Amino acid sequence: MICSSNTISTARALAAAVLLTLFSAGTVRGDAPRDLLAEARTALDRGDAVSAEVRLRSALKSGVPADAVRASLGQALLEQGNLGAAREILYAGDFAPTSAAEGWHQRGRLELAEGRLPEAGLAFDRSYRLAPDDAGLWTDIARLRFTGGEQAQAIEAAERAVKLGPRDPRALEMRGLLVREQFGLVAALPWFEAGLRSAPEDVSLLGEYAATLGELGHYRAMLVVCRKLAKIDPANVRALYLQAVLAARAGQTTLARKILLSTKGALRDMPAALLLNGVLEYRAGNANLAVGFLDRLVRMQPDNMQARMLLARALVRQRLSAEAVEVLQDWAPRDFAPRYMVQTMGMALAQLGRKQDATRYFERVRSDPTEITGVLPAGQAVGVLALSYAERPNIAATTVPYLRGLLDTGDAGRAVAVAQQLQRANPGTAEAWLLFGDARLLDGDHLGALDAYGRAALIRFNWPTLRRLDQAMRLAGRPAEANALVARYLMQNPGNPQALKLLAAGRVEAGNEKGATAIETVLVERGLRNPS
């Protein structure tokens, strides 16, 4: 299947053809149904799904066959987020022949929205066989592939979508999102800007453009875009969230909290909003509220190190030190634990009266070792993980914990074999290459690890990939190349604090104290280092 998650402008012209076919066949009589269908299509084109639904339902009452409007009505309901009603409509019958490609496309979008990736792939396959050159379909195929972890295949699909629809806002947005993952923030901006030239009031594009500007530190430009977004869509919670982020970065904690409260819980399931809420409540002195937000985030994302560190710090402030130790006990003892985590563990142990244990952690902080890549704890006995892996090999959900268990117990040879099998089964997935590199690194194969990390970077060059490449290059005796790589990453992602810290450490190692001091000054100004 071309769209299967294991291998894998909407068809508006076809929808228009439906109308022409109906008119010419005399199925639609009079101007009223014809006008309603045309107005519905126009409303969908401009993103007004509510108006489209009203007109399509009126067309049904006027006698237009349900099969002729099923695809468009399903799209209107999907774009309102009414998945249940969309399913009822899209699966209530067949599609008119000229709207079948669009109908199967919308069924695929519905399945994708509900997380049923194989079903989405099958529906997209049916649509592809009817309309292989539809830019909107290829955009959603890219989205399916990316969601399924096939990043390289997603990039290919997005490139095809842009080729087929060079002015299609959804295709340009998807390409921008993938470029942002593959190359960085700066490289993504032209794609979002191209999309906005085609659709200057597109809410989704404006949101991604504003978020990218904010990550780059272009806060004034971000605010301009957010204000435009709020003007077009006053209830848009993403515009409010981005403005809250901007206020928080400016130190306006009260304003940021007020903005988040105005969303009335609409962001309660958004991990980034939970993190922001936790940070703001901690700043405001409401450690109990911070614990609530951060604990929920850690339950959602157990491997989120930043959330785990902040939760532990909030617990320490509440003098819930035993709980803080429990949060950190599997992470803080490890060599790769960040200094902030190590320090928090020391504080929690000191509060519990365990002075000797606390001292060991504080000494680690004072020695300020370079943070290195490590293996997150597996959480279960390796034998138990092996049983789960044997039942479902080559699946990330079972392979990744098993790999962690193997690496945690020092069985690097077996880990290399398992990781290589996962990588061969998922060659377009950056994470599979990273895990293969991790296993080779811990097996002492520095050059092999560097090769695997480099292949991951061709697909997705983000912070986790950079960190691993940097370490592998240094272990392979190539520190100058490592420094140059970090510098190139910062050209695309200039506000990334971890990369700045990494470059500062690299410059110290190279004897460039002046360059390191300049970076440290920037970090202190941003509140990311304590002034000495």
Cα dist. 515→496, 500, 503, 519, 520 in Å?
17, 11, 9, 7, 9
Topology at the third CATH level for domain 280-367: 1.25.40
For residue 463, give the amino acid letter.
W
**pTM attached to this predicted model:** 0.80
**Is pLDDT of 24 > 50?**
no
**Is pLDDT of 233 > 70?**
yes
pLDDT at 12: 43
Q: Minimal CA–CA distance to 7: which of 180, 91, 128? A: 128
Better pLDDT: 3 or 107: 107
**Is pLDDT of 274 > 60?**
yes
pLDDT at 489: 94
For the structural domain made of 167-267, what CATH number should be given?
A: 1.25.40.10
What tokens appear for 517 in the block?
């001091």
Q: Which of 28-42, 286-300, 366-380, 484-498 has the highest mean pLDDT?
A: 286-300
- Domain boundaries defined on the chain: 1-165, 167-267, 280-367, 382-525
Hey, do 167-267 and 382-525 end up sharing a CATH topology, with the first three levels equal? yes
Topology at the third CATH level for domain 1-165: 1.25.40
Cα dist. 65→92, 93, 162, 210, 234 in Å?
13, 11, 34, 42, 36
Contact, 10 vs 4, CB < 8 A?
no
Q: Which residue has the tokens 């077996």?
A: 414
Lowest mean pLDDT among 11-15, 137-141, 301-305, 433-437: 11-15
Query: DSSP secondary-structure letter at 369?
Result: P
> In the chain, helix, strand, coil percent, each to 5?
75, 0, 25
CATH of 382-525 among 1.25.40.10, 3.20.20.70, 3.40.50.2000, 3.40.50.300: 1.25.40.10
**Is pLDDT of 18 > 50?**
no
pLDDT at 227: 92
Contact, 385 vs 405, CB < 8 A?
yes
Q: Residue 244 and residue 259: Cα distance in Å, rounded?
A: 6
What tokens appear for 489 in the block?
């990453």
